[in-house]
A and B are shown apart, each in its own frame.
Chain A
Amino acid sequence: DVKVTQSSRYLVKRTGEKVFLECVQDMDHENMFWYRQDPGLGLRLIYFSYDVKMKEKGDIPEGYSVSREKKERFSLILESASTNQTSMYLCASRSGDGRSYEQYFGPGTRLTVT
C-alpha cells in the first residue's frame, strides 16, 4: 500500500514564525502536491513538484514556498506565518508514469496560527 505521511497532525504557531510542514511518500512517486483545505472551498493547490528540485506554483502560492531535495520528501514552508494561513494542509503523491491518475493523500496537518 502507498503510504504518505505528514510530520504533524496538529500544529500551533505564532504570527511571524517560520513554519515547516514535511511530507514523505514511500512509493517512489515522481509527483508530489501540497493543498490547503478550507470549509466551503474544497482543496486548493499551493505548489507541486514533478521531480527532485523541480517545483511549480499552483493556484494559491502566495506566502508559501517548497523544497524537494529528495524524491520521497516534499516540504511546505511558511516564511512568516499569518492568521489567514490557519487551515488544514494536505500532501499528496502520484506516479509519473502516465498509467495511473490516482493521487494518494496523507492524513493532513491542521495548522493554527495565533
Chain B
Amino acid sequence: GDSVTQMEGPVTLSEEAFLTINCTYTATGYPSLFWYVQYPGEGLQLLLKATKADDKGSNKGFEATYRKETTSFHLEKGSVQVSDSAVYFCALMDSSYKLIFGSGTRLLVRP
C-alpha cells in the first residue's frame, strides 16, 4: 500500500541554520503531497502542499518540491528561527482522498 517515510528526529539546529527534512513516498499514481506542522500543545496545521510533479509548495519561508523521479518531497528552510521548533509531518493523499502520514520529525532550534 501507499506509505511515507521521513527522517527520524530529533533534528537540532542553531538559529539561522539551513533546514532539510527528508521525505520519500511510495504510491500508485501521482498523489498530492503535504507538509503539516504541529506546534507544542496544538493540533496539526497545513504548512504547504503540492498537487503534481515539479510543483513547489511554499509558506512561511519553508519550501518543498514534488520530485516524481525520486518520489521525494523534502522540506527546506534557509534560516530557521526558534519559533520553528515543532514536529513536522509529511503526508500523501491516497486514491480514496485519505491522508497517509509519515512518522513525524521533531525540530528543535536553539537560540
A residues contacting B by CB (< 8 A) are 4, 31, 33, 40-45, 48, 58, 90, 92, 101-108
Contacts and interface: CB of A to CB of B under 8 A. Distances in A.
Interface in B17-75: 32, 34, 36, 41-46, 49, 51
A92 B97 CA distance: 13
A43 B101 contact: yes
B5 to A, nearest CB: 10
A45 B102 contact: no
Contacts of B44: 43, 90, 92, 103, 105
B98 A107 contact: no
A108 B43 contact: yes
B101 A101 contact: no
Query: In which size bucket is the chain B interface?
Result: 20 to 34
Contacts, number: 46
Which 4 pairs between the two chains have the least Cβ-Cβ distance?
Answer: A105-B43, A42-B101, A42-B103, A43-B101
23 contacts: A4-B43, A31-B97, A33-B98, A40-B103, A41-B103, A42-B4, A42-B102, A42-B103, A43-B89, A43-B99, A43-B101, A90-B43, A101-B32, A101-B49, A101-B51, A102-B49, A103-B46, A104-B45, A105-B36, A105-B44, A107-B42, A107-B43, A108-B42
B41 A42 contact: no
Q: Tell me the dominant secondary structure on chain A's binding face.
A: strand
A90 B99 CA distance: 13
A101 B98 CA distance: 9
B93 interface: yes
A101 B4 CA distance: 18
Contacts of A41: 103
Given A42-B103, A42-B104, A106 B43 contact: yes
B93 A101 contact: yes
Contacts of A107: 41-43
B98 A48 contact: yes
